[in-house]
Chains A and B, each alone.
Chain A
Amino acid sequence: MRPAHPTRRSFRVAVERLGAAGGYLWSGWGSVASICLFLAAWDVAAGHLGELILPRPQDALVRLQGLLTEGQAWPEIAITARRALAGFALSVGIGSLLGLLAGLSVTASMTARPLVTLLVGMPPIAWLILALLWFGAGDGTPVFTVFIACFPIIFVGAMQGTRTLDGQLRELARMFRLPPWMRLTDVILPHVVSYLFPAWISALGMSWKIVVMAELLSTEDGIGAALAVSRSHLDTAASMAWIVALVSSLLAIEYLLLEPLKRHVESWREFASSRS
């Protein structure tokens, strides 16, 4: 049998990938249904509590649309995103690296464990107070608070990933004299990343929550600050609009970026389990 023409093969691969992407997006209808059910529950609660306490979801959405079209929302979203992602990136970089290193040594893992418990147990609001004293009002406070709150989650994920590496696989790689790069990309990383990714996703969700809290108390711009202003004006619709903007951007990042990446990275598990 003659092999398929390269152009035809790449076309087929492109079609398959497009189909997979379409399938992934279509699978989102279940989530859309859940969100609509939640919005209906919100609407019922709004009907009982009144507009001042809880506006209806469509009022919040209309307000958000207004904020977006008037151009008020984008700069605030960009500032918040910059701070959240900066803190998140720091914790991903430092937390993953230190966690991987700690996982290589039993002694380091043992020593790190109580420290991680301490960091996890420390409430973010306490870190925020300290950060305010150290960095003052500005980008430093929210970025640091996000970093320090996300760090232990990522550290633990990376450490567990390294600790649970299959020794037999490593031995096999050594016996076959796999080059170091191949050993890293084909043996170590797929396993470690399967632990790291869930940790990164949890940390990302946390970073968005914490950055808003930090902004609310420490800065004059960003979504958190806008929330503080709308609260002081008793403008509940605007508050809900900002919250919707925050949650929507988080959902978009998680489901349009991180989840497809996670599936791609973890596809080897499915492949392995279908062969076993």
Chain B
Amino acid sequence: MLNHPPPPPRLGHSLLPALWICPFRPFFLATALSALVGMALWLAVLAGWLPAPDTPGGPVLLHAHEMIFGFAAASIAGFLLTAVVEFTGCPPIGRPALRLLALIWLAGRLGWACSGVVGLIPAATADLGFMGLLLFHITGPLWRSPQRRHLSFFHSLLALGICHAGFYTTQLRGQDALPWLHLATGMLMILIVVALSRISMRLVNDVLEAQGGMSTPYLARPPRRNLAIFAIGLFSVSEFARTSGSTTGWLALAAAAAVLNLLNDWHVGRALFQRWVFIAYLVYWCMGLGYALIGVGLLGGQPWGSAGRHLLLAGALGLASYIVMVVAGRMHSGWGLDPRPWVPAAALLILLAALARSLAGLPAGSAHHPRLILIAGSLWLLAWGLYLARSFPVLALPRPDGRQGCDDAVTKR
């Protein structure tokens, strides 16, 4: 066999020698960087250290868009491109295609940064191109897999892509595009329920097996999941369609109850308090409480929407992204699960950030609103800074076993 000469070093190759060997690596890195840069700039604007960006729709729209379609979209891309390979057994996306996807995602962020000058078309082209390309890469394997058991990922991502297209269309027409972001929040929550049902089955059962008690194995029951997805979807559509506030309020409470109902599956005894399981468990608590706050606010005529929404996004989405990145990121880079205390510490920081931000939007915290937002943002920065510091070698450096690709590590606890 001929030995091929090593490829010529690329730009950044020495700093990030193994960034492209598995799809989650560049995107999880982008997620963490996006969480840090986006929040740091937002806090600087709120504190008055930076002038408010002159972007279409104003700074709040920019913040919301970047948290959903910058931060969350990167983590979704990293997760889906890796998970679909594992679920379907198809070959992973090639490195040139991966580089192109990451580049388009970055172009979208730069497009928004310059949108005050060049308008929204470049950002819209990049962002929608990113969504379309991501859909293209996951659709084939999901469609070809036997029984098409994971097609719900395609549906969720397609719904998210439609929301994004609707957002840009409305914004380019000069209308209020925020309802599209609210709808996208609902689609994200559905995606979390779909993804967490798969991830949790492995997480919880691994822990149960390790504890030696598999008398009642954990099962994420489809009827409960379907009820939660149905209720969240109905609430999101009702909110988007601007039906009566009380109808939407009842639907939000239905979504909250349906999400809390999902926790019935999780009450499996001691295994629940194992860190990997408990962090994922907290995702549903944040989601349930978020919808409950929105519902009670709507029914009582109180402006609690922002408080509830931040529990959904900073709490449920933040923790879901974090647990996926910590578990899948380590396992698929050959390092095995991380037993160090920073893992629960960073999760606690994300949870506290979500609670503080939520409190800032409630009457109890209104007197300390700016301080609570600053505290929430700082906790968020600390959490993701901690993640980045600890996970940079995992994402950017070669695997410890010297292998290429996304193969699992041998589980060590």
Nearest Cβ distance between residue B259 and chain A, in whole angstroms? 8
Report A7-43 CB contacts with B as 1/0, cut-off 8 Å: 0000000000000000100110110111011011001
**Shortest Cβ distance from B284 into chain A, in angstroms?**
11
- Interface band, chain A: 10 to 19
User: Judging by beta carbons under 8 Å apart, are A47 and B263 in contact?
Assistant: no
Distance of A125 from chain B, by nearest CB (Å): 34
CB distance from A120 to the nearest CB of B (A): 33
A30: chain B residues within 8 A (beta carbon): 224, 227, 257-258, 261, 264
> What A residues does B227 contact at CB under 8 A?
30, 33
Most chain A CB within 10 A, of B254, B263, B267, B295, is at: B254
Q: How far is the CA of A56 from the CA of B247 in the complex (A)?
A: 9
Any B CB within 8 A of the CB of A234: no
Contacts of A37 in B (CB 8 A): 231, 234, 250-251, 254
Q: Is B260 an interface residue (CB 8 A)?
A: yes
CA distance A56 to B257 in the complex (A): 21
Within the complex, which residue of A26, A43, A58 is in contact with B267, where a contact is CB–CB below 8 Å?
A: A26
Check A29–B251 contact: CB distance below 8 A. Answer: no
Residue of A nearest to B295 (CB): A36
Complex Cα distance, B36 from A213, in Å, reads: 65
Known contacts: A26-B263, A26-B267, A58-B299. The answer to whether A33 contacts B231 by CB under 8 A is yes
B247/A43 in contact, CB under 8 A:
yes
Query: Which of A40, A47, A58 has a CB less than 8 Å from the CB of B251?
Result: A40
Whether A57 contacts B231 in the complex (CB less than 8 A), given A26-B264, A26-B267, A32-B257, comes out as no
For A23, list chain B residues within 8 Å (CB). 264, 267
Inter-chain CB contacts under 8 Å: number? 66
Q: Main SS of chain B's interface residues?
A: helix
User: A23–B264 Cα gap in the complex (Å)?
Assistant: 7
A34 to B255, CA, bound (A): 10
**Residue interface bits B229-272, CB-to-A below 8 A is 1, else 0:** 00100100010000110110011011101101101100100000
Which residue from A26, A27, A29, A40 sits with its C-beta under 8 Å from B250? A40
For chain A, residues 25 to 75, give those with C-beta under 8 angstroms from any C-beta of chain B: 26-27, 29-30, 32-34, 36-37, 39-40, 43-44, 47, 56-58
A36, B228: Cα distance in complex, Å: 12
CB distance from A18 to the nearest CB of B (A): 13
CA distance A44 to B254 in the complex (A): 15
Closest-by-CB residue of A relative to B230 is: A37
Min distance, Cβ A159 to any Cβ of chain B, angstroms: 35
Cβ–Cβ < 8 Å partners of B246 in chain A: 43, 56-58
Task: Check A57 against B258 for contact (C-beta < 8 Å).
Answer: no
Question: Which range contains the number of B residues in contact with the other chain?
Answer: 20 to 34
Cα distance A23–B268 in the bound complex, in angstroms: 10
- Output the least CB separation between A149 and chain B (Å): 34
Q: What separation, in Å, do the CA atoms of A29 and B251 have in the docked complex? A: 14
For the complex formed, measure the closest distance between the CB of B96 and the CB atoms of chain A, giving whole angstroms: 46
Complex: how many Å from CA A36 to CA B261?
Answer: 13
Interface hits, B201-237 → A, CB 8 Å: 224, 227-228, 231, 234
On chain B, the residues within 8 Å of A26 by CB distance are 260, 263-264, 267
CB of A60, distance to nearest CB on chain B (Å): 12
* Separation of A40 and B238 alpha carbons in the complex (Å): 10
Q: How far is the CA of A29 from the CA of B299 in the complex (A)?
A: 19
Most central of B224, B234, B246, B295 by chain A CB within 10 Å? B246
B316-341 contacts to A, CB under 8 A, are: none
Give Cα distance in the complex from A17 to B315, angstroms.
33
- Of the candidates A32, A34, A44, the one whose C-beta lies within 8 Å of that of B247 is A44
Given contacts A43-B244, A43-B246, A47-B244, contact A33 B261 (CB under 8 A): yes
In angstroms, Cα B246 to Cα A30, docked, is: 21
B398 to chain A, nearest CB (A): 46
Q: Chain B contacts of A27 at CB under 8 A?
A: 261, 264
Report A-chain residues with C-beta under 8 Å of the C-beta of B267: 23, 26
A35 to chain B, nearest CB (A): 8
Which residues B378-409 have CB closer than 8 A to chain A? none
Chain B's nearest CB lies how many Å from the CB of A28? 9
Report which residue of B228, B231, B261 has the largest number of chain A beta carbons within 10 angstroms of its beta carbon. Answer: B261
A57 to B254, CA, bound (A): 14
Residue of A nearest to B235 (CB): A40
**Does B264 contact A43, Cβ atoms closer than 8 Å?**
no
Q: How far apart are the CA atoms of A267 and B244 in the complex, in Å?
A: 45
Bound-complex Cα distance A37 to B255 (A): 9
Which residues of the other chain, B, contact A33 by a CB distance below 8 angstroms? 227-228, 231, 254-255, 257-258, 261
Contacts of A43 in B (CB 8 A): 244, 246-247, 250
A23 and chain B: residue at smallest CB distance: B267
Bound form: Cα–Cα A29–B258 in Å: 6
Could you pull out 18 A-B pairs where Cβ atoms are within 8 angstroms?
A26-B264, A29-B258, A30-B224, A30-B257, A33-B227, A33-B231, A33-B255, A33-B261, A34-B254, A37-B254, A39-B253, A40-B238, A40-B254, A44-B244, A44-B247, A47-B247, A57-B246, A58-B246
Seed contacts A36-B250, A44-B247; 13 additional CB < 8 Å A-B pairs: A26-B260, A27-B261, A30-B224, A30-B264, A32-B261, A33-B261, A37-B231, A37-B251, A37-B254, A39-B250, A40-B234, A43-B246, A43-B247
User: Which 10 residue pairs across A and B have the least CB separation, nearest first?
Assistant: A36-B254, A29-B261, A40-B250, A33-B257, A33-B258, A32-B257, A30-B261, A43-B247, A29-B260, A36-B253
B residues engaging A (CB < 8 A)? 224, 227-228, 231, 234, 238, 243-244, 246-247, 250-251, 253-255, 257-258, 260-261, 263-264, 267, 295, 299
